[in-house]
Chains A and B, each alone.
Chain A
Amino acid sequence: MKYLVWLMVIVLIIAHQNWNWDDQTLVFGFIPIGLAYHAGISIAASIVWFLAASFAWPK
């Protein structure tokens, strides 16, 4: 589980780095999709760190 959590951290960093680079879609009618995507990255980061705190906390 510990290694799976660290794999998720790496995936998160890769996800942070181009599919919506020039997309003008507005999510919920007011959030530009590039901003919505990265707000999603912030939420995903909290979820991944929750898993890390639960299953990979240092001794």
Chain B
Amino acid sequence: MSPGLTRFVIIIVYLAALLGLSVFSSRMSRGTKSDYLLASHSIGPFLLLMSLFGTTMTAFALVGSTGEAFKEGIGVYGMLASSSGIIHSLCFFLIGVKVWGFGYKYGYTTQIQFFRDRLESDMIGVLLFPILVGLVIPYLLIGVMAGGTVIETMTGGPGLTGAFPEMFPSDNPGANGGLPSQYGSLLICAVVLIYVFFGGMRGTAWANTFQTLVFMVLGVVTFYFIAMKLGGQDSFMESLKACSEAVSAEKATRADMSKSKFFTYLLVPFSVGMFPHLFQHWLTAKSANSFKLPVVAHPVFIMIVWVPCVLIGIWATTSLVPAKPPLPTLPNGVVNANAILPFLVKTQTGAALGGLLTAGILAAIMSSLDSQFLCVGTMFSTDIVSHYFGKDKFDDKTQVLIARVFIIAIVAITYFLSLQGYKSVFAMGVWCFSGFASLFPLVFAALYWKRLTKAGAFAGVLATVASWLFLFQKSGFGSNRKFTIDLAGYEIMPVVAIFACSLIAMVGVSLVTKPPSDATLARFFPES
């Protein structure tokens, strides 16, 4: 059996195990809408931790972190990982617990239901719905396209080493005989669709837990084998030292990183406060106390995944990586940083281990995709169909059926969009996060500021959209990946300007418009 075929078989076995788990979890379903969309508020601390962590750690956590460290050095850990450890837990603590309380008490399933009640406005849903879905779609595309690329890379190989050299020959030796990315993406979409369709939120929570364990364990295993192979010493510690001593000062320090950019990146993780798929996960909790474990463990979990990947990324810049085969490149000849981790796994480990590690990368991708597919389907069925056509018209079974139909539709749309070859979609990641982060003032004010008004919320959302579109256009629609704003000589991230526009418009308009009714204030601020 060729190395590519060995890896392909292991990937298929892993995906089959995942589907087996979904059959097991779907047997626990109670068949109601609440169970399908929110697991009947029955998710305890451990499953909640794994669901939230698995959902926030996308393909970027493994593949992207290694690639960014390859390009920028160790500074990416502080800029993206330790900042997320602080801010994500802050959002779970300040937003998640409070949202869970209102969701449990008033029966919310989506963000828009909460905002409609809190702001006494039906139209806020009409405004927010396309924005939230529009920001989630590129995020979905990143996962679907990354999954296809990883499968193609890992099952391909020069000569007869690929999985299917006669069926799928290619001029690119790395992808020769590999399962083409469009089929890999289809495989990923089909597996996620099956377990989300049958298992709903309960199936998603179990699958997330399994997949998070898989990618955390296999990430550490990858680190061990790559360190031993590149370091070439007898002991693990000696190999680690040999690898790190070969790293240049440029990559081993943050000397080349803009301090103002590092500082302003701190706003990006606030995006988790407005992710609709995390909002839905928060509402699945059994109790407010279920949030304690995720709040405490999240920063350390990020460290366990990111530190090995960042070290592998900086090691890949050294002469310890064999000259042949050469590092993967983009058509313009520049090294493809996002392919560094799959490349090292493929060239520095055996076929069987390579297959397992590929399963780990796919686990990170799918544990985010499932929640996003489920959440977009939920938003369509809850915020559009049930809201406008009357939820009393449909019984529980019909509402679950409607949600399932929308989930199939969103998976199909995402897959067909992924075939259009939007290579720049990977650059969209930070723009999606910037959009969600700039809506954070809205959710924070809705929960903690009684004076927030309907008009203030509209002003904040519209200011976010206008400033986001203006800066996105200035960046060449995301094509300038290093786009920043020059503020008196300081290089700052676009998210700062968008966040500021959102906050100023929301507060300014709220202060000059009529406050919410006493009934609404009593409902959302009972302590006062």
Q: How far is the CA of A22 from the CA of B248 in the complex (A)?
A: 12
- Of all chain A residues, the one with the shortest Cβ separation from B88 is A45
Asked whether B244 lies within 8 Å of A24 as measured between CB atoms, the reply is no
Could you tell me the distance between the alpha carbons of A45 and B245 in the complex, rounded to whole angstroms? 29
Q: Mark each residue of chain B from 69 to 103: 1 if its CB lies under 8 Å from any CB of chain A, else 0.
A: 00000110110011101100110010001100000
- Tell me whether B140 is interfacial, beta carbon within 8 Å: no
Q: Inside 8 A of A58's CB, which chain B residues have their CB?
A: 93, 97-98, 288
What does the 1/0 interface line of B293-331 toward A look like (CB < 8 Å)? 001111110110001001100100000000000000000
A1 at the B interface (CB under 8 A): no
From A29, A39, A43, residue with most partner B Cβ within 10 Å: A39
Asked if A42 and B85 sit within 8 Å, CB to CB, the answer is yes
Pick from A18, A24, A38, A53: contact of B296, CB below 8 A.
A53
- A residues in contact with B89, CB < 8 Å: 45, 49
B244 touches A16 (CB 8 A): no
For residue B450, CB closer than 8 A to chain A, the reply is no
Interface positions of A from 7 to 42, Cβ below 8 Å from B: 9, 12-13, 16-18, 20-24, 26, 29-32, 34-35, 37-39, 41-42
Closest residue of chain A to B252 (Cβ to Cβ) is A32
The number of residues on chain A lying at the interface, defined by a beta carbon within 8 Å of a beta carbon of chain B, is: 33
Residues in B with CB closer than 8 Å to A17 are 262-263, 266
Contact A35 B266 (CB under 8 A): no
Q: Which of B235-243, B365-373, B486-494 contacts A (4 or more CB under 8 A)?
A: B235-243
Distance between Cα atoms of A16 and B254 in the complex (Å): 13
Beta-carbon contact of A21 and B300 below 8 Å = no
Q: Which of B86, B97, B252, B262 contacts A24 (CB 8 A)?
A: B252
A31–B244 CB distance below 8 A: yes
CB–CB B266/A16 < 8 A: yes
Q: How far is the CA of A22 from the CA of B252 in the complex (A)?
A: 8
Measured CA separation A37–B85 after assembly (Å): 14
The complex places the Cα of A38 from the Cα of B420 at a distance, in Å, of 39
* Contact indicator B295/A49 (Cβ below 8 Å): yes
The residues of B that contact A59 with a CB separation of less than 8 Å are: 527
Which A residues are CB-close (under 8 A) to B13?
Answer: none
Q: Does B253 have its Cβ within 8 Å of any Cβ on chain A?
A: yes
Q: How far is the CA of A49 from the CA of B83 in the complex (A)?
A: 14
CB of B90 within 8 A of CB of A9, answer yes
Smallest distance from the beta carbon of B412 to chain A beta carbons, Å? 39
For A18, the chain B residues whose CB sits under 8 A away are: 259
Question: Is B292 interfacial (CB 8 A cutoff)?
Answer: yes
Chain B min CB distance to A3 (Å): 15
Q: How far is the CA of A18 from the CA of B310 in the complex (A)?
A: 20
- A26-B245, A43-B299 known; A34+B237 contact, CB < 8 A: no
With A22-B255, A38-B77, A39-B82 already in contact, 5 other A-B pairs whose C-beta atoms are closer than 8 Å: A30-B243, A32-B252, A43-B300, A45-B86, A59-B527
Residues of B whose CB lies within 8 Å of any CB of A are: 74-75, 77-78, 81-83, 85-86, 89-90, 93, 97-98, 237, 240-241, 243-245, 247, 249, 252-255, 259, 262-263, 266, 288, 292, 295-300, 302-303, 307, 310-311, 314, 527
Q: Which residues of A contact B (CB under 8 A)?
A: 9, 12-13, 16-18, 20-24, 26, 29-32, 34-35, 37-39, 41-43, 45-46, 49-50, 52-53, 57-59
